[in-house]
Structure 1
Amino acid sequence: MSLGEAASPPFVSSAPDWRPIFGHDDPYDDQRDGIETAIETAADDGFLALEGACGTGKTMLALTAGIHLVRDPDSSFERVFVLTSVKQQLRQFEADIRTINGNLPDDWHPVSALTLVGKADVCPYNLAGAGGIDDTNVYERCEGLRERTRGLTDEATTAGSLAQQARSQQVGLGDSAGEASYLEAAGEPTPYPPEMPAAGDADVEFCPFYAGFLDDLPEDGDPIEAVPFDPTDRGLIETDDLVELSASRGSCPHSVMGALLPNVEILVGNYYHAFDPTTVEAFTGGLIDEETFVICDEAHMLEPRVRDLVGDSVSDRALADAAGELSRVIETVAAVEEAGQSAEHGPEARARAETVRQELNGTDVTLGELRDTRRLLGALGDRLDERVTASLDRRDPGWRQHLPDLDDDELPLRDPETPETDELTRWAEENGFDERLWVRAEAVCAAAATVLNTLDEDDKRRAAPAVGRTLARWRRCDHTDYFRAIDLERTWDDTRPAESWRRAYTASYTLHNCLPADEIGERLAAFGGGVLMSATLEPLDVFAEVTGLRHLEREADRPVVERTYGLEFPEANRASFAVDAPKFTYENRGDPGDETPTRQAHARAIRQVAAAPGNVLVCLPSYREAEWAASVLSALDKEVLVDEATDDVATERLKQSFFEGEPKVLVTSLRGTLTEGVDYRGDRLSAAIVCGVPIINTASPQTRAVRTAYDRAFGDGFKYALSVPAVRKARQAVGRVIRGPDECGVRVLCDERYARESWDSVRDLLGEAEREEFQPVGSDMLDFALEQFWDDAA
């Protein structure tokens, strides 16, 4: 029985009974409809696809419906699993969970909840910068230390003894003789020393926190019994809480989190936790079932994010590492076999060889297959080098002299618009590397990793298993929905030869999933039901197709209900314009230095909107165009901040500068992070303008392959793959302006494609409510319309 079940009071399942859960006094009409629709739909194993304008209260709506179902004794739901791609929205779910718990009836137990995080966020040593662990090695070190700790408890001692040894090693580590030194985590002392403890005659390092968890773990009982605190009445357990409550008691926070997973009512995570195959297999797979109500937030990003997660790649370095791992296994046996039982190879070498033989005997993998697979890996590495070198030579024979100037690149292995066998697969067949060898690489590489894990206990992650899985998928996946290429990612490695492309690039064979609808649909089908929601899902028919929902509806008889809720705030507080300005395309606008009619029209609109009384957000299709937009505002009597493609820390500083002090203008790219998921509530933003339709580069091989796949699946690849995502980005940006009933502001979409009905118009992609709101206005009339609105608002 889950903690949620054990803690919950009797709960009646009739429709009004969700109200005690709802965290505020009165829901909006749309919230009420959405909650009841979500409950009814999930009760029929279905999904609600919900577009709700900013301020609809989607987070509270979805949580209320999910918690109601979990606490309803007549419902089969045991938990709510929240997925979001934006950290700001994750914080909003946490805030609403606190609000719900703060307003529950006095005789109700709080709703239990947990935010899922990675090892780097909760490892006490990583947080303290101690034990030789940091962000760069925490995952590898953690896996190695856990394996060693388990090994010690299997062979030499108990977990309790290891934890006690670690406690005893504190003496004498302090500032003065005899004074104990304690590792601190989340501001609390732990029972262990700052340095990693070691056990046995060989001084084998182990993790005392993991030993402490194992010591608390019952041999045949529920892992929840190993949690060193009572989670029943804590409500939301946040990351700092998890670290403090676990580490201070000597237990591993990440392991404790794993024990808590099936025992809380709400899990808050990200798309990786449901759609990344590695994460699901290792961590959350047991939670994705018919007893889980899923809330997929920012669902307009579901398709592109999952496309990235369900693709696959193998780098040149991974190929080399995997080949090296296979070689170690082969050579351990081969060296002894070739020399027989001669004195040249002592008992230890022969014992290692026998270990390899025994491990291989436990699989169906032969030594010959190991050699064949190693030969394939080496040949693929050589072929990658030849292909990259030839491509660079063809494009620029002098590339070796300006390695630092090389950009990211993509080398297609087939015509992106013609589904056919890729050139690498053809090359492999011509050179004797047949399909069976590729497919068997998965089992062969997994066996090699198992052997190496038996032979030694170092901290390195094995490259071979992932490489083997990728090679098998390469041959199994079709050539219609999958596109194969060599991706060149701009890096820098001084250890590589001075004139090698490997100094400037990491090259990978990449398998792109162009059409992830099946993978998304199959994963959603594993849940019992749920809500997929965003402020920008329209057109909902397109969303249902590309996420596999429509397939679930047709083939699995799972109901899919659609709802669209517009802004409920006073219409007098906002003005929305679709400016009939020339299309802001490269063909029309030219380079930033060109004085084209298109640039003149958009520059005029930018200046007019930027003059608004308050903070203004100006959004362009790229960072290059953002710099141009900033240049046309040089005479404006406001500070102009320019966003750049930089790190999160710099972006956060820029955002805070925008919020503080006198009104400013922030100019950014629609490809950046400042136009989605950022809270511009209150007086943080009074106007936003989007220039152009931010369609991604249509010339890139991957984009052309995706468009072709969508053409074949849905008949209009440009609309499904390019136009709809672009318009959603624009809508997200202008949606930052009005966030509450008392806010006042202007939203402007500047491009004739938003204003007119034409062959390339995107007006029909706005959704019915926005088409009514964003009235077309000529570029020569925008200034008058803005002045009139601000005069009335004053």
Structure 2
Amino acid sequence: MVDTSLSEAESVPFVSPDPEWRTIFGHDEPYDDQVDGIETAIDTAVESGFLALEGACGTGKTMLALTAGLSLVRDPDSSFERVFVLTSVKQQLKQFEADLRTINANLPDEWRPVSAMTLVGKADVCPYNVAGAGGIDDANVYERCEGLRERTRGLADGETTAASLAGAARSQQVGLADSGDGADFLEAAGEPTPYPEETPDSEGGTEYCPFYAGFLEDLPEEGDPIEAVPFDPTDRGLIGTDELIRLSAGHGSCPHSVMGALLPNVEVLVGNYYHAFDPTTVESFTGGLIDEKTFVVCDEAHMLEPRVRDLVGDGVSDRALSDAETELSRVIEPVAAVEEAGAGTQYGDEAKERAETIREALSESDVTVGELRDTRRFLTALLDRLDDRVTGHLDEGRPGWEERLPDLEDREIPLRDPERPGTDELTRWAGHNGFDARVWDRAESVCAVAGRVLDTLEEEDKRRAAPPVGRTLTQWHAADHTDYFREIELERTWDDTRPTGSWKRAYTATYSLHNCLPAGAIGDRLDEFGGGVLMSATLEPLEVFTEVTGLEHLESETGRPVVERTYGLEFPEENRASFALAAPKFTYENRGDVDETTPTRRAHARAIRQVAASPGNVLVGMPSYREAEWAAETLSELDKPVLVDEATDDTATERLKREFFEGEPKVLVTSLRGTLTEGVDYRGDRLSAAIVCGVPIINTASPRTRAVRTAYDRAFGGTSGRSPDGASGASASDAGFKYALAVPAVRKARQAVGRVIRGPGERGIRVLCDERYAKESWNSVRGLLGEAEREEFRSVGTEMLEYALEGFRER
């Protein structure tokens, strides 16, 4: 590992008087750290390497990464052709868009603008969904789109042409308008389209999508699909979602298809982690972007490991199993019924024709009716096993649960000892009951064929359950039993249609397959890119980050360089007060339940009140929503409105955020597990102080958490050599705690207090309230702060906090 972190005093400005990247850089003068970061990113990417960069808020990381990547894309001697930005936070996506506009606004007149586009889903660009027309909405847009596209392709390849379909829709609209029956042109994103508001039918009565027909009409039989794009992307700069809809739908073409054609022809693409790490998305949409010609930017990279862990895991719910079982029956039963009735004429011609269609479809695959029956029997057995296992678990842990269904909470049922890798009980049960490796391994192919047969037989826009269920079952059997953990997850839901007294009324049960160590999946994917930057305000400790994301392994195995940089706040230090308060550890053992009055709770309540009394808006971050409610109660006598965040939907959270920003100063109390402490822009006077109570370590008793911790023990315990407080000589269990629990928790806390200071003119107070941040001890987390933060967050006792705060306010 190349350790090239620079302190502010050691930072050496780039010496070239006028490097090419300065023309691309969107502002008058870069910070010294930006100069160093841009030059380092360029030099590292030229060697096919990656820059792991922690930069405090205000470092200008977005502009740094875009400038480095674009300078390589515009360099005729470079092999890079595009920049692919990945971010998990919508606010950061908007920041990349804003910086791209800034770059284009400041390019020399003779330079063509940087072409760029943000990747969005079908729901965001489907003209019918945007207009609320054609019977298409957010709930069914994906199923309807796939069905309409398939029928449109079928019509264009058979009885007519794409041009005829698009032309017929245009003629239909003109005819309706001329007849005076009041029919209107469909309008999307403020732009009239050449088609009616309802999806048209072909002469044979088949519904189709005229926009997709219009795209196919423009698509050349041979050549680059970019020729089907009805506008020139090279001179438009950043193509926003509304602009994409207007330019495409106004021409009569499908915006989502146009977006797909643009992918390899745009210099900067902005998306999220799904676009690079979700196997399904990569296979169907973005795979062509992931190669050695792409400079990748992973923003908010501290979230890379947990997000990818979710993406490369898998699961199948009881509802999905039941639906897949039904779908297989709809393929099997027509054939079985005709066979049982024989060849006589008593059995209907329509049924015979359906059975013959199924036989023909199966004959074109390697799947037999016998395999369909075996797989259906397997699904039935899995459902019965799930019912027995959940019922038994509830009987043992919650006697009388049938009478108290509304009181049930989320639960996990491990299928092996989380701390002892080995074959899970479901796989063992299957083997003992006649479901051998072939049934597991063939499930994907069998279920995929069943889905295709039903698509042929049934003209309905519906996502089939069988193909993903089969894929999950095959993956379940293929994945190892060391790095993967299997369990049954019980998610608290409610379904009145399920029988009274059944657990299915209160729960959705899922056979879940978790990848405990996604480092391999992350590293393998990064290895497909030409190079890039992984950045965040909270990557430290960088040696942990490079291990859990596979970067260190990538460097040692392939020789691709991985360079580290850490940049602290460049804003005036006198504008901020940063304290690590030596209050008692805010653990359950110390604080007790929320209705108890313990010395720990009294100390933290006092600190919360002292910080909340600061002028301006104040953010209070707690380890959970329950503790957030307690913290709000401690502020009942505060002469300032107190807002309490709850575990609700995005709409309610946005409404709460707007209320916090508007009007008189307030206090916002939230959980550090929520969405208000990361990726939210608290610029200007939106936030003047923040306090975090405790180290927000997730539930250590969860079987999944224990499995992940064990996996990290095994993978990094022998090489880490560091305990959670940074001391040497740690045991393997210390490594597991550090990698799986302590580091992610401290990053949550750092993200929260990092919301306060966002610009050079801002002033604010930042408090980490827990002695584990303040003191070196066996369970200290002070060593997990960045070096600059350890120096800046000075330790103070609980009796001195009020004096320290007053001293800062007086300054």
Letter in 2 for 1:80: V
Which whole-Å CA distance do the structure 1 matches of 2:348 and 2:628 have between them? Answer: 69
Task: Indicate whether 1:211 and 2:213 are aligned.
Answer: yes
Report the RMSD for the aligned CA atoms in angstroms.
1.5
Hey, what does 1:502 align to over in structure 2?
A: 504
Q: Give yes or no for contact 1:172–1:178 (8 Å, CA) kept in 2.
A: no
- Of 100, 105, 109, which residue of structure 1 is paired with 2:108? 105
Task: Note the alpha carbon deviations across 1:489-508, whole angstroms, 9 max, x for none.
Answer: 22222222222221222111
- Cα offset for 1:226? 0.8
Letter in 2 for 1:120: A
Task: Note the alpha carbon deviations across 1:460-493, whole angstroms, 9 max, x for none.
Answer: 1121111111111111111111110111122222
- Secondary structure of the corresponding residue to residue 192 of structure 1: strand
What does 1:523-538 align with in structure 2 at a 5 Å threshold? Answer: 523-538=525-540
Letter in 2 for 1:429: G
Task: Note the alpha carbon deviations across 1:589-620, whole angstroms, 9 max, x for none.
Answer: 11122111101111111111111121111111
Hey, what does 1:738 align to over in structure 2?
A: 757
Q: Give yes or no for contact 1:413–1:423 (8 Å, CA) kept in 2.
A: yes
Task: Note the alpha carbon deviations across 1:255-293, whole angstroms, 9 max, x for none.
Answer: 111011111000000011011111111110111111110
Which whole-Å CA distance do the structure 2 matches of 1:239 and 1:91 have between them? Answer: 12
Hey, what does 1:370 align to over in structure 2?
A: 372
- Of 672, 682, 697, which residue of structure 2 is paired with 1:670? 672
- Cα offset for 1:172? 7.1
Hey, what does 1:181 align to over in structure 2?
A: 184
Task: Indicate whether 1:308 and 2:310 are aligned.
Answer: yes
- Secondary structure of the corresponding residue to residue 619 of structure 1: strand
Hey, what does 2:64 align to over in structure 1?
A: 61
Which whole-Å CA distance do the structure 1 matches of 2:533 and 2:790 have between them? Answer: 25
What does 1:655-666 align with in structure 2 at a 5 Å threshold? Answer: 655-666=657-668
- Cα offset for 1:718? 0.5
Hey, what does 1:38 align to over in structure 2?
A: 41
Which whole-Å CA distance do the structure 1 matches of 2:383 and 2:679 have between them? Answer: 41
Which whole-Å CA distance do the structure 1 matches of 2:536 and 2:223 have between them? Answer: 41
- Secondary structure of the corresponding residue to residue 743 of structure 1: coil
- Cα offset for 1:646? 1.1
Hey, what does 1:10 align to over in structure 2?
A: none
- Cα offset for 1:366? 2.0
Moved more, 717-726 or 177-186: 177-186
Letter in 1 for 2:133: A
Which whole-Å CA distance do the structure 2 matches of 1:637 and 1:331 have between them? Answer: 71
- Cα offset for 1:115? 0.3
- Secondary structure of the corresponding residue to residue 274 of structure 1: helix
Task: Indicate whether 1:471 and 2:473 are aligned.
Answer: yes
**Which stretches in structure 1 are left out of the alignment for 5+ residues?**
1-12
Hey, what does 2:797 align to over in structure 1?
A: 778
Letter in 2 for 1:354: E
- Cα offset for 1:394? 2.0
Letter in 1 for 2:117: L
Hey, what does 2:567 align to over in structure 1?
A: 565
Letter in 1 for 2:754: G
Hey, what does 1:148 align to over in structure 2?
A: 151
Task: Indicate whether 1:752 and 2:771 are aligned.
Answer: yes
Which whole-Å CA distance do the structure 1 matches of 2:510 and 2:626 have between them? Answer: 28
- Cα offset for 1:14? 11
- Of 621, 624, 634, which residue of structure 1 is paired with 2:636? 634
Moved more, 147-156 or 320-329: 320-329
Moved more, 477-486 or 52-61: 477-486
Which whole-Å CA distance do the structure 2 matches of 1:347 and 1:625 have between them? Answer: 67
- Of 734, 747, 761, which residue of structure 2 is paired with 1:728? 747
- Of 98, 115, 118, which residue of structure 2 is paired with 1:115? 118
What does 1:250-265 align with in structure 2 at a 5 Å threshold? Answer: 250-265=252-267
Hey, what does 2:731 align to over in structure 1?
A: none
- Of 24, 27, 50, which residue of structure 1 is paired with 2:27? 24
Hey, what does 1:190 align to over in structure 2?
A: 193
Which whole-Å CA distance do the structure 2 matches of 1:593 and 1:730 have between them? Answer: 25
Moved more, 654-663 or 232-241: 654-663
Task: Note the alpha carbon deviations across 1:693-747, whole angstroms, 9 max, x for none.
Answer: 0000101111111111111111111000000000000000000111111111111
Which whole-Å CA distance do the structure 1 matches of 2:668 and 2:184 have between them? Answer: 49
Which whole-Å CA distance do the structure 2 matches of 1:712 and 1:499 have between them? Answer: 43
Which whole-Å CA distance do the structure 2 matches of 1:751 and 1:329 have between them? Answer: 61
- Secondary structure of the corresponding residue to residue 584 of structure 1: coil
Which whole-Å CA distance do the structure 1 matches of 2:107 and 2:530 have between them? Answer: 26
- Secondary structure of the corresponding residue to residue 233 of structure 2: coil
Moved more, 290-299 or 419-428: 419-428
- Cα offset for 1:543? 0.2
Letter in 2 for 1:38: A
- Cα offset for 1:340? 3.0
Task: Note the alpha carbon deviations across 1:334-371, whole angstroms, 9 max, x for none.
Answer: 22333332113355444433333333233222221111
Hey, what does 2:78 align to over in structure 1?
A: 75
Which whole-Å CA distance do the structure 2 matches of 1:591 and 1:552 have between them? Answer: 46
Q: Give yes or no for contact 1:50–1:534 (8 Å, CA) kept in 2.
A: yes
Hey, what does 2:786 align to over in structure 1?
A: 767
**Which stretches in structure 2 are left out of the alignment for 5+ residues?**
1-15, 718-734
- Secondary structure of the corresponding residue to residue 507 of structure 1: strand
What does 1:215-614 align with in structure 2 at a 5 Å threshold? Answer: 215-614=217-616
Moved more, 642-651 or 773-782: 642-651
Task: Indicate whether 1:680 and 2:682 are aligned.
Answer: yes
Moved more, 349-358 or 676-685: 349-358
Letter in 1 for 2:335: V
- Cα offset for 1:151? 1.1
- Secondary structure of the corresponding residue to residue 183 of structure 1: strand
Q: Give yes or no for contact 1:18–1:65 (8 Å, CA) kept in 2.
A: yes
Per the alignment, do residues 352 and 674 of structure 1 end up closer, same or farther by CA in structure 2, a change over 3 Å counting? same
Which whole-Å CA distance do the structure 1 matches of 2:101 and 2:611 have between them? Answer: 38
Which whole-Å CA distance do the structure 1 matches of 2:705 and 2:168 have between them? Answer: 57
Hey, what does 1:696 align to over in structure 2?
A: 698
- Cα offset for 1:448? 1.8
Which whole-Å CA distance do the structure 2 matches of 1:217 and 1:15 have between them? Answer: 44
Q: Give yes or no for contact 1:442–1:468 (8 Å, CA) kept in 2.
A: yes
Task: Indicate whether 1:654 and 2:656 are aligned.
Answer: yes
Which whole-Å CA distance do the structure 2 matches of 1:465 and 1:694 have between them? Answer: 39
Letter in 1 for 2:435: F
Hey, what does 2:721 align to over in structure 1?
A: none
Hey, what does 2:163 align to over in structure 1?
A: 160
Moved more, 725-734 or 473-482: 473-482
- Cα offset for 1:635? 1.6
Hey, what does 2:129 align to over in structure 1?
A: 126
Letter in 1 for 2:111: W
- Cα offset for 1:178? 4.4
Moved more, 57-66 or 173-182: 173-182
TM-score of the aligned structures, taking structure 1 as reference length: 0.96
Alignment length, in residue pairs?
779
Q: Percent identity?
A: 79
Letter in 2 for 1:216: D
Per the alignment, do residues 276 and 14 of structure 1 end up closer, same or farther by CA in structure 2, a change over 3 Å counting? farther
- Of 92, 95, 99, which residue of structure 2 is paired with 1:96? 99
Which whole-Å CA distance do the structure 1 matches of 2:482 and 2:150 have between them? Answer: 42
Task: Note the alpha carbon deviations across 1:84-127, whole angstroms, 9 max, x for none.
Answer: 00000000000000000000011000000000000111111111
Per the alignment, do residues 45 and 14 of structure 1 end up closer, same or farther by CA in structure 2, a change over 3 Å counting? farther
Which whole-Å CA distance do the structure 2 matches of 1:599 and 1:367 have between them? Answer: 66
Per the alignment, do residues 84 and 345 of structure 1 end up closer, same or farther by CA in structure 2, a change over 3 Å counting? same
- Cα offset for 1:631? 1.1
Q: Give yes or no for contact 1:409–1:488 (8 Å, CA) kept in 2.
A: yes
Which whole-Å CA distance do the structure 1 matches of 2:17 and 2:41 have between them? Answer: 14
Task: Indicate whether 1:169 and 2:188 are aligned.
Answer: no
